[in-house]
Structure 1
Amino acid sequence: MTALAATPPAEARAAPGRFEVRLAHDATEIDAAQALRFQVFGEELGAWPLDGGGGRRRDVDRYDAVADHLVVLDHAVPDAPAVVGTFRLLGREQAACAGGFYSAGEFHLEPLLQEPGEVLELGRACVAPAARGLPVMHLLWRGIAEQVFLRGVTLLFGCASFPGADPRRCASALAWLRRHHLAPRALRPHALPHLRVPPEFEVGLECSSRPPHLPPLIEGGLRLGGFIGDGAAIDREFNTVDVLMMVRLHEVTGRYARHYARAFREQARSSGPFAGAVRG
């Protein structure tokens, strides 16, 4: 998980049928998702170095070849629909093919991976600047909900980011998250020592009972009943401070569970066997 997500399930106005959410069908759609990621993470947020696409201005890494790419297509764009939002999805078998989960580069995941059932890592979340304020992230969450049902996922997880690699900028938020939303010990991953934010930025501060301003993706995870791992990691390549966010699906907050279960049932009724797309 990364940046620029809105808290689910936010509604916004858009022409009916304008947007479609589904897994990318082919290399062209994956390439468009990688171009969007480069635009957001590289050009907008200052990630560096970030061009695994051989100079084509694409964010590409080894996980892309085995992952599923959830995309939102905007059919209002002339000639061909544009990818305006994306999430990368990685399950256990896919991660094994890539040598592990992406998050394992920043966090020791062994406690989390002992969780029974299927787990799903969410990453590279972004929305095109022109599409923010439209229901793009809402549709991405609906697409994730459908994948959860289809795959029998019991746990969602991924890196969620604070912008900037200076932990002083997010110290109060880290302290608040640690005090109020730390994962159960048996499930709790921890940041790798060489990347971990110094403890004084997490536990050495007085922390208000009122939540601080949080990045939307972290706020959205908390609304779903999620929690964080032990410690935050500094990601200098992406110019962020990351926490490991987890959501146990059986603990999802009531109204969100009902909302996404209903969305999946509606899709199943309208499409018969899952067709892999939702229009909104």
Structure 2
Amino acid sequence: MTRPFLAPIAKFQPEDRILGRIGSLEVRLAATHSEIEAAQALRYRVFVEEMGAQLPADAMLQKRDFDRVDRYCDHLLVLDTALTGSTEDQIVGTYRLLRQEVAARHDGFYSQNEFDVMDLVGRSPDKRFLELGRSCVLSTYRIRRTLEALWQGTWAYALGHGIDVMFGCASFPGARPYAHALALSFLNQTAAANDEWNVRAIAGRGLSMDMMPAEAINPRAAIAAMPPLVKGYLRVGAVVSREAVVDTAFRTTDVLVMLPVKQINGRYLNHYGADASRFAA
């Protein structure tokens, strides 16, 4: 069987590798190859079986979503410890975390395939960046508590590594951007990044999100039309690119989300704790 791990996996070893607990949910980093493969299998179930993504033949054969970036990322896991079986059987959500210094030592950020993120990083040499990707939760666990666990783990990880800016692609389902004209136009009107944070799509791939006039946008309907992850980013204070990119393999319409730590909504800092202590293990 093909092993996608061609280089050492990035390591983050806090004193306690459990980053948080909410009820029976535990959030921590994957510690073994088998746990990473279980997260990749979960991603396959959601992205391929549920959303219809078309992955490379090797990934489809093994029924795991993996790529070259997996080998040097940290993999955040949410486990439901109330489930029976092995640790791998308890994984209900996952997030892929890639720090700037790790990306620089390997093949770069995943989202640079769609957006010119290296320009963003180059404009801010005094800041440390963290890419968030492959957000994935089993359908029966797409509830507030699971999202809180993912955010708790991400926030604790970001604090532990002195991160200044988190960013990553957020996806709308389907490869027809104009089907999301209302939501994309609302984002462009209310949450578009300013010059400091704006990132252009890779040449030839970008599509303007300015699809509807402001007077035609119903804010409540626009927010209702957004995926939960996008709504979550907006609530904590993120800004988005002014262009969208179609990912034909995953059959999604992607926007780039940027979240400078200093711009995180104070309400959420209070909720999780400025030191990530609210749901600490």
2:271 is aligned to 259
1:37 is aligned to 43
Change (3 A) 1:101 1:190: same
How many matched pairs? 252
2:3 is aligned to none
Does structure 1 residue 92 correspond to structure 2 residue 100?
yes
Q: Which amino acid aligns with 2:265?
A: T
Q: Deviations over 1:25-76 (max 9, x none)?
A: 1111101100000000011011112554472100000111100000011222
- Provide the TM-score with structure 1 as the length reference: 0.84
User: What 5-or-longer segments of structure 1 have no aligned partner?
Assistant: 1-14, 269-277
Does structure 1 residue 226 correspond to structure 2 residue 232?
no
1:121 is aligned to 131
2:116 is aligned to 108
User: What 5-or-longer segments of structure 2 have no aligned partner?
Assistant: 1-20
Does structure 1 residue 179 correspond to structure 2 residue 186?
no
Does structure 1 residue 206 correspond to structure 2 residue 213?
yes
**Cα contact 2:22–2:279 (8 A) shared by 1:** no
1:46 is aligned to 52
- Provide the TM-score with structure 2 as the length reference: 0.84
Q: Distance in 1 between matches of 2:22 and 2:242?
A: 43
Q: Deviations over 1:193-229 (max 9, x none)?
A: 32222x4xx3242232625021111111111111111
**Cα contact 2:192–2:240 (8 A) shared by 1:** yes
1:245 is aligned to 257
2:77 is aligned to 71
Q: Which amino acid aligns with 1:210?
A: P
**Which one has more relative contact order, counting CA pairs under 8 Å at least 6 apart?**
1
Specify the SS of the correspondent of 2:120.
Answer: helix
Change (3 A) 1:79 1:209: closer
Which residue, out of 58, 68, 76, partners 1:62? 68
Does structure 1 residue 158 correspond to structure 2 residue 168?
yes
Aligned-pair Cα RMSD in Å:
2.0
Percent identity over the alignment? 38
Q: Distance in 1 between matches of 2:69 and 2:272?
A: 27
Q: Which amino acid aligns with 2:276?
A: F
How many angstroms does 1:16 deviate by?
7.0
1:271 is aligned to none
Q: Which amino acid aligns with 1:246?
A: M
Change (3 A) 1:75 1:50: farther
Specify the SS of the correspondent of 1:188.
Answer: coil
**Cα contact 2:170–2:257 (8 A) shared by 1:** yes
Change (3 A) 1:159 1:44: same
Moved more, 70-79 or 87-96: 70-79
